[in-house]
């Protein structure tokens, strides 16, 4: 492939601005089109993509100047949009989750294999210095043999800040499917794939009310669990404890901690690309912040797509790939099955740990 990967964006909602700002400053990707079912919304995004044009999704899928589709639609539409892009012979990189369920996700993987195109999926935050530094320390044996881990994300709910939050409370949303991919992808990056899960889930409030924007005060129904707690057994025996909630006003829980035979590792928020990594060792018996040891500096939403473009040019696997995203999706689906049926659930899929990101490297060079 000569020149930058030409990208068409489908979905010009709130998250699109973050992606467009990032892609505009990267050398190996070029946004050529922005599409939305509301064409006016696509046009409103163009100041952040000055070389692009606004269009409808069907036009974008047919466009000859689009090599890859960046799928930023709501979770319920992820599979439909990705399948349309694949049918047009285009690579796909999408927001998480990969699809609303594993059945639809498997269809995407099969379609991509037949078409000879690639699928990438957020989160790409795990490619930043925060998670990659933590991974480098684990791989170097800084805390000995990993024994257990914890991962927490608690908030009172996205309706407090999002002007149109209903999709967060429909299938494909909730704290597990919305925020869970960050924490679960991080845990898999650090500790490897998951083989068995169990858990509990609750929906304390049947309705929510929008707190900001022009629709403030509007009530809407909650269709998913908003408080999820689970136990994950990784393939090598490490046990992770997970808590994700839209029902907690405040907490003092760590984002992620990994406990080993010779120490503890404090991992920053997996929703961010960077952040301090802290180490407690049995030798020093104290916490210390460690210097960066891996990952992309100054990372931002869209680095995963640029890394996919780089991988295509170099003829190697990309890191934020569909195999990893599918495994994380199955883990989340298994957690909900476990919660509903009151039993442990085996996870059938597995995945590789993507190659580490060397410190100081760039996804576009």
Tens of pLDDT, residue by residue over 160-184, are 999 999 999 999 899 999 999 999 9
Domain boundary among 76, 102, 121: 121
Same domain, 166 and 278: yes
Tell me, yes or no, whether 280 lies in a domain: yes
* CATH number of the domain encompassing residue 45: 3.40.50.720
Cα(69)–Cα(117) distance, integer angstroms? 11
* Section 79-99 average pLDDT: 97
Same domain, 101 and 133: no
Same domain, 133 and 110: no
Same domain, 86 and 130: no
Domain boundary among 121, 141, 168: 121
Tell me, yes or no, whether 304 lies in a domain: no
Domain that residue 134 falls in: 125-294+329-346
Same domain, 152 and 100: no
Predicted local confidence at residue 240, as pLDDT: 98
Domain boundary among 94, 121, 148: 121
Tell me, yes or no, whether 315 lies in a domain: no
* CATH number of the domain encompassing residue 257: 3.30.360.10
Tokens standing for 321?
């790939």
Q: Is the pLDDT of residue 229 over 90?
A: yes
Predicted local confidence at residue 31, as pLDDT: 98
Nearest 10 degrees: CA dihedral of 257, 288, 362, 149? -10
Percentages (nearest 5) of helix, strand, coil residues in the chain: 35, 25, 40
H helix runs in the chain, sequence order: 16-24, 39-44, 57-62, 78-87, 102-115, 129-139, 174-178, 180-191, 303-314, 322-341
Tens of pLDDT, residue by residue over 180-202, are: 999 999 999 999 999 999 999 99
Predicted local confidence at residue 2, as pLDDT: 76
Same domain, 110 and 159: no
Tokens standing for 259?
């406990």
* Section 218-237 average pLDDT: 98
Classified as helix, coil or strand, 170 is: coil
Same domain, 18 and 35: yes
Tell me, yes or no, whether 322 lies in a domain: no
The structural domain count of the chain equals 2
Same domain, 108 and 146: no
Predicted local confidence at residue 68, as pLDDT: 98
Same domain, 156 and 237: yes
Tell me, yes or no, whether 365 lies in a domain: no
Q: Is the pLDDT of residue 205 over 60?
A: yes
Same domain, 37 and 176: no
pTM, rounded to two decimals: 0.96
Residue 106 pairs with which residues in a beta bridge?
none
Cis status of the peptide bond prior to 200, with omega within 30 of 0: no
Tens of pLDDT, residue by residue over 50-66, are: 999 999 999 999 999 99
Tell me, yes or no, whether 311 lies in a domain: no
Cα(267)–Cα(282) distance, integer angstroms? 18
Tokens standing for 277?
């990594």
Tell me, yes or no, whether 108 lies in a domain: yes
H helix runs in 174-321, sequence order: 174-178, 180-191, 303-314
Same domain, 74 and 172: no
Predicted local confidence at residue 65, as pLDDT: 98
Predicted local confidence at residue 1, as pLDDT: 53
Same domain, 141 and 117: no
CA 351 distance to own-chain centroid: 15
- The percent of residues above 70 in pLDDT, for the chain, comes to 100
Predicted local confidence at residue 293, as pLDDT: 98
Tell me, yes or no, whether 226 lies in a domain: yes
Cα(236)–Cα(215) distance, integer angstroms? 48
């Amino acid at each position: 492939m000569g020149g930058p990967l030409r990208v068409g964006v489908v979905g010009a909602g709130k998250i699109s601005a973050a992606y467009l700002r990032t892609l505009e400053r990267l050398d190996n990707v070029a946004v050529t089109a922005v599409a939305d079912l509301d064409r006016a919304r696509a046009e409103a995004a163009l100041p952040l993509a000055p070389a692009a044009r606004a269009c409808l999704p069907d036009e974008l899928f047919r466009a000859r100047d689009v090599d890859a589709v960046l799928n930023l639609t709501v979770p319920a539409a992820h599979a439909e949009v990705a399948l349309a892009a694949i049918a047009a012979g285009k690579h796909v990189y999408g927001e998480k989750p990969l699809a609303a369920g594993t059945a639809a996700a498997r269809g995407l993987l099969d379609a991509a294999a037949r078409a000879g195109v690639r699928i990438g999926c957020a989160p790409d935050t795990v490619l930043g210095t925060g998670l990659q530094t933590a991974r480098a320390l684990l791989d170097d044996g800084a805390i000995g043999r990993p024994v257990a881990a914890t991962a927490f994300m608690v908030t009172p709910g996205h309706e407090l800040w999002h002007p149109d939050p209903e999709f967060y409370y429909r299938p494909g949303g909730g704290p597990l499917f919305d925020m869970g991919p960050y924490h679960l992808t991080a845990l898999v990056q650090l500790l490897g794939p998951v083989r068995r899960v169990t858990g509990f889930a609750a929906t304390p409030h049947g309705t929510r009310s929008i707190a900001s924007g022009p629709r403030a005060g509007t009530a809407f129904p909650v269709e998913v669990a908003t408080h999820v707690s689970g136990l994950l057994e990784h393939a090598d025996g490490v046990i992770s404890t997970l808590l994700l909630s839209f029902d907690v006003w405040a907490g003092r829980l760590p984002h992620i901690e990994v406990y080993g035979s010779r120490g503890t590792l404090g991992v920053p928020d997996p929703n961010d690309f960077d952040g301090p990594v802290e180490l407690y060792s049995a030798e020093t018996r104290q916490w210390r912040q460690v210097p960066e040891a891996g990952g992309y500096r100054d990372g931002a939403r869209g680095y995963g797509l640029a890394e996919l473009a780089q991988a295509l040019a170099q003829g190697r696997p990309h890191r934020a790939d569909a195999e990893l995203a599918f495994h994380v999706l199955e883990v989340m689906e298994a957690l909900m099955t476990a919660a509903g049926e009151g039993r442990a659930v085996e996870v059938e899929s597995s995945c590789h740990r993507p190659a580490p990101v060397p410190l100081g490297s760039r996804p576009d060079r």
